Chains A and B, each alone.
Chain A
Amino acid sequence: MRGPVSADGAPRRPRSGPWWATGLALLALVLLASFMARGDPFTQRLEEDLRPPSREHPLGQDKLGRDVLSRLLYGARVSLGVGISVVLISATLGLALGGVAGTVGGRTDRIVMGVVDVLLAFPGLLLAIAVVAALGPGVTNVVLSLSLLGWTGYARLVRGQILSLREREFVAAARALGARPVRIAARHLIPNLAGLLTVQATFGIAGAIVAEGSLSFLGLGVPAPLPSWGGMLADARPYLLIAPHLTIAPAAVIAFTVLAINLLGDHLRDRWERASSR
């Protein structure tokens, strides 16, 4: 969907400006910090439980006396790792299945799209909860369940794009020159899909991080003692009254991480829209 255009032909969507750079910087900071962190996220000091922020522990200590900052930073690796893995797996699956459905057509297309329609007819989080509830918690199971459901969006996107690209002149020309379907897909279809796919994948990372956080918050995601942002918020819940810092810090970090990724996604989409409307 192209945005409205003003008299001089310039898109009226406000340019994302320096915000996307802020987002990228924020993300880089979180990642960098997570690898540079020296503190130990696992060491327990039971006699120092629920301590407020101090010089030694800038964000305080949790119910087992563990350093909150170290856990947050280590949790960044877990959350971003899950987010990126889910997107890689589901985008690959979606590209393959959507590509096959779009190129082969016929019954294959109907079967693949039928599965997509049924899966998309349900709230994704609900299905993820059902799958993880059955598989049991664990990082692998979280990635598996989110990927199992996440490919549908990519498949639909890829199929739709292929159907419209197929009608374009450059593809018809390649076909007339005798190019084989595999060559057409590799040289003409996939490069043209890459932009839109990148946009969707960026938002997908944000979505997967929120989904992992939600599962972990419910106790169905990343199991203890491995730190995850959702799990930290769940652990902090009984201590809202006496140790609110345990809630504020992870809540802020996850909110700003997701915001940063979404800013980046917005920027990529704007760029893609401008490029394709030219």
Chain B
Amino acid sequence: MILRLLLRRCVPVLPRLFAVAPLVFFFLHLVPGDPVDVMLGESALPADKEALRLSLGLDRPVGERYFHYLASLTRGDLGESIGLRAPVWRLVASRYPATLELAAAAIVIAVSVALPLGIIAAARPGSLLDRASMAAALFGASVPSFALGPVLIVVFAISLGWAPVSGRGGAAHLALPALTLGVGMAGILSRITRASVLEALAGDYIRTARAKGLGRWRVLTVHALRNALLPVITVISLQLGALLAGTIITETIFAWPGLGRLTVDAIAARDYPVVQGCILAIGAGYVVVNTAADLLYALADPRIRHEGTRER
């Protein structure tokens, strides 16, 4: 049954994955402006421009280029980096683990802050604790990572000396970037957790549980939370895209050697095959992770798990 669920959830994702490729291609190739001009500068010699145009295959019509690009993609070929003289897939593969490490740490931080905060707020709606934690949550959701990151460096790395300023290493290196990336998600998530626990607490089964004589805390954690978690999981999966894209900023701030920094470096160097590969890789990661979250959602909710099997 799990297998059938897996198939039903994964098959619709494939077209989306394939939609990534043309989207990235057309954005980079059809917008006005000659990439060769951007790469070499407008003052470059016409002969040099022509040579680069030929070597990039830009002299051929767009349609042909597109099919050539798709054909190489199906072979797993992302092209060759112009500046780094290496296959794009190898560059992407070497940077992906660092980005995943950062994103995973950020999620762990966000969830371990947001769940308790949201539950505590929902337990006593309207109380001072509720207001304070929701004010903190809104602030967390509002402060952009490119503002938070440098401030965290000034306070925790430079003034207090608790963590290194930049680079990748052990847990100490991970702390500040993960915090920078996780705070926004924590803010959004705790607001959703609060709303969703409140909604669950209004259900009839909660009244039944209370009437049975169960303690307030037990009702909250066992009965309400279980049902409240479904929207929370959905929001986590929706936030993952922003999180993966956010690694671009966070990795730039902390000189974290991941995919995001590779993207920024490639944009600065006008290394379009690498830009294309990175965006494709992040986009694909997003789609895969979203599907995984979808599966998790189905596993957590029997109503979704059995959907479509009953009619048979």
Interface string of A64-89 (1 = CB under 8 A from B): 00000000000000000000000000
Cβ-defined contact, A130 with B279, below 8 A: yes
Contacts of A248 in B (CB 8 A): 151, 154
Q: Residue B199 contacts which of A3, A131, A136, A218 (CB distance < 8 angstroms)?
A: A3
Stretch at the interface among B3-11, B61-69, B78-86, B248-256: B248-256
Q: How far is the CA of A13 from the CA of B264 in the complex (A)?
A: 42
Q: How far is the CB of A63 from chain B (nearest CB, A)?
A: 15
Contact status B134-A258, CB under 8 Å: no
Chain A 1-43, CB-CB to B under 8 Å as 1, else 0, gives: 0011100000011100001000000000000000000000000
Partner of B158, one of A206, A244, A250: A244
Distance between B120 CB and nearest chain A CB, rounded to angstroms: 14
Complex Cα gap A14–B126 (Å): 6
Q: Are B249 and A217 within 8 A (Cβ)? A: yes
Is B174 on the interface with A (CB-CB < 8 A)? no
A127 interfacial by beta-carbon distance below 8 Å: yes
What are the interface flags for B26-38 relative to A under an 8 Å C-beta threshold, 1 for contact and 0 otherwise?
A: 0110011101001
Q: Is A195 an interface residue when CB atoms closer than 8 A count as contact?
A: no
Q: In the assembled complex, which residues on chain A have CB atoms less than 8 Å from the CB atom of B148?
A: 251, 255
Q: In the complex the two chains form, is B126's CB within 8 Å of A259's CB?
A: no
Q: Please state if B248 and A218 are interface contacts (CB–CB under 8 Å).
A: yes
Please indicate the chain B residues that have their CB under 8 angstroms from the CB of A134 in the complex.
Answer: 27-28, 31, 33, 35
Alpha-carbon gap, A240 to B159, bound state (A): 11
Tell me if A3 and B198 are in contact (CB < 8 A): yes
| A236: nearest chain-B partner, CB-CB | B150
Tally of B interface residues using CB under 8 Å: 59
User: Assuming the A-B contacts A213-B144, A240-B150, A240-B154, are A122 and B31 also in contact, with contact meaning beta carbons closer than 8 angstroms in the complex?
Assistant: no
- For A127, give its contact among B16, B27, B126, B150 (CB under 8 Å): B27
Residues B146 and A121 in contact, CB atoms below 8 Å apart = no
A14 close to B150 (CB less than 8 A): no
**Pairwise interchain contact A240-B165, C-beta atoms closer than 8 A:** yes
Across the interface, A233 reaches (CB within 8 A) one of B146, B244, B282, B283, namely B146
CB distance from A58 to the nearest CB of B (A): 19
Per a CB cutoff under 8 Å, which of A123, A127, A250 touches B242? A123
In the bound complex, CA of A130 to CA of B20 (Å): 12
Contact present for B283 and A262 (CB under 8 Å): no
The chain B residue with its CB closest to the CB of A237 is B150
Is B151 a contact partner of A122 (Cβ separation < 8 A)?
no
A121 contacts B19, C-beta separation under 8 Å: yes
Known: A133-B275, A136-B38, A248-B151. A254 touches B33 (CB 8 A): no
Chain A residue nearest to B238 in the complex (CB): A120
Chain B residue with the shortest CB-CB distance to A218:
B264
Given the known interface contacts A118-B19, A125-B248, A214-B249, the answer about A206 and B142 at a Cβ–Cβ threshold of 8 Å is yes
Q: Which among B19, B28, B268 has the greatest number of chain A C-beta atoms within 10 A?
A: B19
Task: Evaluate contact between B144 and A255: CB separation under 8 angstroms.
Answer: yes
- The contact of B151 among A5, A118, A124, A247, by CB within 8 Å, is A247
Interface residues as binary, B259-284 with A (CB distance below 8 Å gives 1, 0 otherwise): 00001100110000001000100110
How many angstroms from the CA of A244 to the CA of B283 in the assembled complex?
Answer: 35
Is there contact, CB below 8 Å, between B138 and A263? yes
Cα of A241 to Cα of B158 in the assembled complex, Å: 7
Distance in Å from the Cβ of B42 to the closest Cβ of chain A?
Answer: 11
Identity of the chain A residue whose Cβ is nearest the Cβ of B29 in the assembled complex:
A134
Sample (5) of A-B pairs whose CB atoms are under 8 Å apart: A13-B195, A119-B23, A218-B249, A244-B154, A258-B144
Known: A4-B199, A262-B138. 14 other contacts (CB 8 A): A3-B195, A13-B195, A14-B130, A121-B16, A121-B290, A123-B241, A123-B282, A126-B244, A129-B279, A134-B35, A217-B146, A233-B147, A240-B158, A262-B141
5 smallest beta-carbon distances between A and B, as pairs? A123-B245, A251-B147, A123-B241, A4-B202, A125-B245
Q: Hey, which bits of chain B sit against chain A, CB under 8 A?
A: 16, 19-20, 23-24, 27-28, 31-33, 35, 38, 125-126, 130-131, 134-135, 138-139, 141-148, 150-151, 153-154, 158, 165, 195, 198-199, 201-202, 241-242, 244-246, 248-249, 252-253, 263-264, 267-268, 275, 279, 282-283, 286-287, 290
